[in-house]
Structure 1
Amino acid sequence: MTKFLSFLLMGLVKVLAHMFYRGQPNWLSKEQESSLKDVRLVVFLNHTSLFEPLFIRFAPWSFVWLIAHKVIVPGADVTLDRPLAGTLLKTLLPGVIPITRKADESWEHFLSLVNTDVITAILPEGRMKRRNGLDKDGKPMSVRGGVADILARLDNGKMLFLYSGGLHHIQCPGEKLPRLFKTLTANLQIVDIQAYKQTVNQRSEVNFKAKVMADMNARLDAFVP
C-alpha cells in the first residue's frame, strides 16, 4: 500500500510538472529509455533544491513505477526530521533511509541494503548548492565518496546519470514555494556499471574511491547543462 501511494504521488508530481514546467531531457548516450529497466544506480549531479522531484517529468511511466517500488536513497536525518519536508519526502520515497553526515553505522546500514534487486539513488555531493555556487557553510561543492561505496557493491546492471541544469530559477534553498512556468533542463546518460568500474580503475594508481570522486567531479564540470 505504501509503495502504491508513492507511485500515485510521483504520478501526481509528474502530471503537475508537465502542466507547469517546460523542458525535454537531452540524452548523451546511445542507450536511452529502453534501457531504464536495467538501471540499478541513479546518480543525480548538481543538487540545488528540494524541488528536484520535478525532474520526474522526464521519466517514462514504467520507470516511475520501478522507482516507487524498488528505490532506496540515503536522506539526511536533519531533513527527514523536518515536519513538512521530511514527511513529504518519506511519503513520496518510502525507500528513503535516514543517515547522518558521518561515516558511521547509519551509512553502513544503508550500504547493507544495496544490491541488484533494488534501485539505489544518490545525490553524491551530499549537500545543496546555494546561489553563490557554494554549500551552506561557504565551502566549494564537490562529490563525496559515498557513491564509490555503492559502486563497490554492484557488479552488473546500468547506471543512470542525471545532470541537472539547476533549479535556483524555480526554488532556492530557504525559499518555500516554487516559481511556475519555468524550464527544466537536464542531460541524461546511461552507462554499464561493470564497464564504468573497469574504465575508472585503469585511469591512475590512486584508490578506487578517489578515482570515482575525480570522475564524478569531472562529469559535473563537463556534462551539467
Structure 2
Amino acid sequence: MFACAYLLINTLFAALYYVGGDTILHADPDSFWQAFVFSFQTSTTIGYGYYLPKNNFAHVVVILDSISGILFVAIATGLAFAKFSRPTARVMFSRNMIVTRMDDQPVLMFRMGNARNGQIIDANVKVVVTIPQITKEGQNIRRVYDLKLVRNNSPLFSIGWTVMHTIDADSPIFGFSESEISNRNITFVISLTGIDEVFSQTVYDRHIYQGDEIQWHKHFVDVIETDAKGNTVINYHNFHKWKDM
C-alpha cells in the first residue's frame, strides 16, 4: 500500500513536469517516463545525474516534490513503527468451557494460556453472558449480565490461568439446564486486559463461547508440568483436553 501511494505521488509530480513542457535538461519533453524518473530521483533525494531542472517552473516543482517525498517517508516510517511495535496479548483460550463440580458446587470454567514470550502484568478478565429474553410486553431482547468470578485479577499472568464462575443462587445462569444453555443462543463474552512488561503498554484480547461449546460434567486435563531444568511449563498438547468426572 505504501509503495503504491509513493508511486502515485511520483506520477502526479511527473505529470506536472510533463505538462510544463521543456522543463528537464537532457530529457525528451514528450517522454512521460523520463519525467517520472526525474520525479523519482527528486523525491528520494538520491541526487541528480543526467537529468536536471531547466527553468524556474521546474525548480518550484522540485522543491514541492522533495518536501512531499521527505514527509511521505517520515509518515510511512512512523506508521510502520507504530504498527509493529504495538504489543499484542496473544492469549490462547480453551476450545470449550466446562461445567464441573468443586467443593460440592457446580462451577463454570475455561482456560487461558499466555502464548507470549513475556508476562502480562496486572491482568484483568471479565466475563459477561448474553441471554435472550422476552419482556412483559412481548419484546425479544438480549440482556447482558456480569458473571462473578472466583478471581478476576492476576498480578502476573505468565503461564496459564483457569477462570472460574460458581453457579450459585446469585448466578445469572442458575437453574438453566444443559439443553437450555445449548439451545437458547446464550453467549459468553470474555475480555482480558493487562500491561505488557516490555513496552509498558496496555494489551487486550477477547473470546466468545456459544452455549453449545460447553462440556458438562467434565474436568480439564492437567497441563502444568516441570521440564528437565525444573521450570514450570504448560503442556499445550493437553490444553484443550477434558475428561469425564
TM range (shorter): under 0.3
Normalized per residue, the structure richer in strand is 2
Answer with 1 or 2: which has the greater Rg: 2
Normalized per residue, the structure richer in helix is 1
